[in-house]
Structure 1
Amino acid sequence: MIGVVMPRDLAAGDVVAFARRAEELGFGELWVVEDLGYRGGVAQAATALAVTSRLRVGIGLLPAGARNVAFAAMEIASLAQLHPGRVDVSVGHGMPGWMRSAGAWPRSPLTFLGEYITVLKRLLGGESVDHDGEYVRLDGVGLHETAVPEVPPALLAGVRGPRSLALSGQVADGTLLAEPVSPEYAREVLKHVSPTRPHRLVAYNLASVHPDSATALAAVRPALAVVGEPDWRPHVTPLPFYDDLLALRRRATSDEEFTDSLPDEWVRRLAVTGTPEEARATLGELFDAGVDSAVLIPVGEDALEALGAVV
């Protein structure tokens, strides 16, 4: 399955047009972003679902610490009832800096996320839940029988660390990976997830496609500045050029110098980019590595134009 991400800073007047255009272009999935200070994921998903008829819509991701699990279940169940079979939801720790600034970072994020996803799945399944955990406490809470979705939506964990990935394999229906996702990283992730039942792997990747490969690579380079930062180390550690990439990051005096110095072959490994043929080859490698849904993040100032360019 190939999907696309709706930009978090998309003009409000373009949200409906973007969702409809994604469906018209044949994408199978549309993922909306919930980042602190931008738009809420549930509201965006509801809007996209309401103005499309076929497109599967995912929320990536809901930070567990920001949403009481019982009320999150109500929102998610409503989406699943109103748009059956078209909703995916990922839950995660959230970015530590953002969550701390909002007063919503638990002492043990891993314990909290495990409790949260386990209880959320039970609620969406129609159970009345008593749970006295370290973080999640419910006393006979459940959805009313009229609010339980006939088919509960898939719950994915949006995580990246080894222990969090192992937790995802234990309690979630899938794992959502932030960009960049190379085939090497996808295979490494699945080693940690170690799924023993059906488990979807959804992978975000920056995307820029053009008949001229150099033009496509130039467009995607600035967005790769983060790959040398500590939070993104798990994404690049499995790559054969990992040590050289870190050395390049240390030598560079600016983000621009760093991204301009990335060899073309590295850029192609860190994004879905190049000519249409090169991009299709990269997608094929991702699917071969175990990715179920390759979700593209179009690069470009005009989001609607960029969306059409990556088809």
Structure 2
Amino acid sequence: MTALGVVFRPQLPPERLRGMVRAADDAGLQELWLWEDCFLESGIATAAAALAWSERLRVGVGLLPVPLRNAALTTMEAATLHRLFPGRVMLGVGHGVQDWMGQVGARVASPLTLLREHLDAMRALLAGERVTTEGRYVRLDGVALDWPPASAPAVYAGARGPRSVRLTGEAADGTVLDASTTPDGVRRARQLVDEGRKAAGRPERPHPVVVYLHAATGPGAEARLRAELRRDGLDQTADLGVAGGAEAVAAAVRRLAEAGADTVVLQPTADEPDPEGFIRFVTDEVTPLVG
């Protein structure tokens, strides 16, 4: 069964989050996803608030940019959330937007090496191990968590290029694909992830794939979607995004699911006029059609 989520866009001010969380929890939304985009809102702070304001909602962060973060600190924050809200947290890490990383003096020469080292350290620490490593970027000397999660949680990683996608199969427990991914792109990503899992000797372990989908509904939906794709520099003739009613959105979700997505996260336009209403549209109208 395909899980459905919705993004809380950080173009909304942080004080809008509580209303969105309450709407999601009340409506029975499965997953609410957050972003740590520069220079909008923190992923960890918003995740902690969303989890505290809800009773059953699963909350994902996709993604935390690793150039901004020390691996030990990211893992401490992850462990704290997993201990406080077991079974409801999904955290993903990634390269970050390189221009933004350059703006804050955090851009590295080898983003792929950094992501691999960060993932290796995080997964070992969250599993309760004591870690000493002298990597190119991640250096830890006898570090162990005093309060690791009761069981090692999944660590997701986001990727776009083929080498990065393959790395998520090797070194992460799940993969997050952005909204520039078509159904054919999901199929190719699945192949690369499986290659990575096989290379790392972990082909039998489950590896969920999360993909974002541009979506717009209601008055002016088509125009808002096209404007969003133009702003993001995406090909408007490709099979990207969906505008329309529940049937059209559900059909787009099913295409991604058939291509290999385990979770489809609907990404409203930045100018969505009714974010809480969008959540109710997803839960009340789209979810029953997805199955």
Q: Residue 199 in 1 paired to residue 203 in 2?
A: no
CA distance in 2, matches of 1:153, 1:34: 20
CA distance in 2, matches of 1:46, 1:80: 10
Q: Secondary structure at the residue paired with 1:198?
A: coil
How far residue 206 of structure 1 moved from its aligned partner, in angstroms, is 1.3
1:154 is matched with: 154
Q: Secondary structure at the residue paired with 2:76?
A: helix
Mapped contact 1:7–1:303 kept (Cα < 8 A): no
Q: Secondary structure at the residue paired with 1:206?
A: strand
Change (3 A) 1:228 1:13: closer
Provide, for residues 54-77 of structure 1, a one-character-per-residue CA deviation record: whole Å limited to 9, x for no partner. 111111111111111111111110
1:1-311 matched pairs, under 5 angstroms: 1-144=3-146, 147-194=147-194, 195=197, 196=203, 197-210=205-218, 215-226=220-231, 228=233, 245=235, 262=236, 266=238, 269-299=239-269, 300-311=272-283
Q: Secondary structure at the residue paired with 2:213?
A: strand
Q: Secondary structure at the residue paired with 2:168?
A: helix
Runs of 4+ in 1 over 6 A off after TM superposition: none
1:249 is matched with: none
Provide, for residues 136-184 of structure 1, a one-character-per-residue CA deviation record: whole Å limited to 9, x for no partner. 111101101xx11113332111111100111110010111111133211
How far residue 26 of structure 1 moved from its aligned partner, in angstroms, is 2.1
* Structure 2 unaligned regions, length at least 5: 198-202, 284-291
Mapped contact 1:56–1:88 kept (Cα < 8 A): yes
Q: Secondary structure at the residue paired with 1:296?
A: strand
Q: Secondary structure at the residue paired with 2:119?
A: helix
CA distance in 1, matches of 2:35, 2:262: 19
How far residue 227 of structure 1 moved from its aligned partner, in angstroms, is 5.3
Q: Secondary structure at the residue paired with 1:176?
A: strand
Output the aligned Cα RMSD: 1.7
Mapped contact 2:29–2:279 kept (Cα < 8 A): no
Mapped contact 1:158–1:175 kept (Cα < 8 A): yes
Mapped contact 1:80–1:87 kept (Cα < 8 A): yes
| TM-score of the two chains, using structure 2 as the length reference | 0.88
Provide, for residues 255-277 of structure 1, a one-character-per-residue CA deviation record: whole Å limited to 9, x for no partner. xxxxxxx56xx5xx211332211
CA distance in 1, matches of 2:64, 2:211: 16
How far residue 279 of structure 1 moved from its aligned partner, in angstroms, is 1.4
Mapped contact 2:175–2:207 kept (Cα < 8 A): yes
Instruction: Give 1:207's aligned amino acid.
Output: A
Instruction: Give 2:177's aligned amino acid.
Output: L
Change (3 A) 1:302 1:278: closer
Q: Secondary structure at the residue paired with 1:27?
A: coil
Q: How many residues align?
A: 271
CA distance in 1, matches of 2:145, 2:78: 11
CA distance in 2, matches of 1:307, 1:222: 21
CA distance in 2, matches of 1:100, 1:302: 34
